[in-house]
């Protein structure tokens, strides 16, 4: 069974640009959550998508957005990049059918903003 | 609100020793408590989890205990091996009805041969 796939693995962007990251969950999983990991703030929840609908959102500015497609693949977008957006972005896949089900993470996308 | 404190931040043990990492939380509505292991350059890997209707769960060399009254849960690794060296995160879930996890700040475990 294939795991969670995130692409690309690494990205370098310039301040002010926008970026799109992709996540393919485990086959059959309908929930995709996104997290930002930085040395200073640790792992912070961005948002969760289930069956193409955002059903939970963390405390991030509106520059961070996402969507989910009918095949459960998800993308997140960050517009008007700032230096502080440099981080490891992780997505987690779960069945999502009940609160607190097992979540499996991808390898992450390392975003560097210069 | 949701908050979880994790201790210690670093832990150094000799191979074969036991390691214990503890997390305390404040939100009594949390009912799902997973532990993740993150190796350098990789995403967090789920190693064990426990739900609020269970006090202890064991899987080979790792175990998790939960004290809901005191609001703390712990990860126990016995007979540690160098390959156990990684950063370990505790997390809380289940209180929002969805999949959001609130993570601890992590414990860097170093197992010396």
- pLDDT tens per residue, range A60-94: 999 999 999 999 999 999 999 999 999 999 999 99
Confidence class of residue A47 from pLDDT cuts 50, 70 and 90? very high
Coil, helix or strand for A85? Answer: helix
Closest partner residue to A99 (CB to CB) among B34, B46, B94 is B94
- pLDDT for residue B64: 97
Cα–Cα nearest to A96, from A26, A46, A24, A23: A26
Residue found by looking up tokens 């692409």 in the block: A7
The answer, for A99 touching chain B at a CB cutoff of 8 Å, is yes
- pLDDT for residue B83: 97
- pLDDT for residue B113: 93
A15 contact partners, CB below 8 Å, separation of at least 6? A81, A82, A83, A113, A114
B59 contact partners, CB below 8 Å, separation of at least 6? B47, B48
How many C-beta atoms lie closer than 10 Å to residue A21's C-beta?
A: 21
A19 contact partners, CB below 8 Å, separation of at least 6? A11, A13, A77, A78, A81, A111
Q: What are the residue ranges in chain B where pLDDT is below 70?
A: 1, 97
The answer, for A25 touching chain B at a CB cutoff of 8 Å, is no
- pLDDT for residue B1: 56
Question: What mean pLDDT do residues A99-112 have?
Answer: 92
How many C-beta atoms lie closer than 10 Å to residue A83's C-beta?
A: 9
- pLDDT for residue B54: 81
- Mean residue pLDDT across chain A: 95
- pLDDT for residue B29: 86
For residue B34, what are the CA distances in angstroms to A31, A77, B42, B48, B91? 17, 28, 18, 6, 6
Cα–Cα nearest to A75, from A100, A109, A114: A109
Which positions in chain B touch A99 (Cβ < 8 Å)?
31-32, 93-99
Proportion of chain A above pLDDT 90, given as a percent: 90
How close, in Å, is residue B106 to chain A by CA atoms? 8
Cβ contacts below 8 Å, chain A against chain B, sum to 74
Peptide bond preceding A8: is omega within 30 degrees of 0, i.e. cis? yes
Report how far residue A25's alpha carbon sits from residue A61's, in angstroms, rounded to the nearest whole number: 25
């Amino acid at each position: 069974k294939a795991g969670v796939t995130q692409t690309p693995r690494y990205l370098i962007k310039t301040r002010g640009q926008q970026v799109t990251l992709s996540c393919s969950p485990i086959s059959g999983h309908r929930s995709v959550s996104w997290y930002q990991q930085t040395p200073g703030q640790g792992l912070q929840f961005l948002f969760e998508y289930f069956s193409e609908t955002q059903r939970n959102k963390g405390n991030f500015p509106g520059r961070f957005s996402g969507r989910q497609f009918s095949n459960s693949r998800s993308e997140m977008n960050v517009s008007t990049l700032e230096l502080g957006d440099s981080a490891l972005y992780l997505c987690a896949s779960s069945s999502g059918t009940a609160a607190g089900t097992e979540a499996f993470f991808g390898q992450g996308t390392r975003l560097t903003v210069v | 609100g949701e908050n979880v404190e994790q201790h210690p931040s670093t832990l150094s043990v000799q191979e074969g020793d036991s390691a214990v990492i503890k997390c305390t939380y404040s939100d009594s509505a949390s009912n799902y408590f997973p532990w993740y292991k993150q190796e350098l350059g990789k995403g967090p890997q789920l190693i064990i989890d426990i739900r609020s209707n269970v006090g202890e769960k064991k899987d080979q060399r790792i175990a998790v205990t939960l004290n809901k009254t005191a609001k703390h849960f712990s990860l126990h690794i016995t007979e540690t091996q160098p390959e156990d060296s990684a950063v370990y995160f505790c997390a809380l879930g289940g209180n929002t009805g969805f999949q959001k996890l609130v993570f601890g700040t992590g414990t860097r475990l170093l197992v010396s041969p």
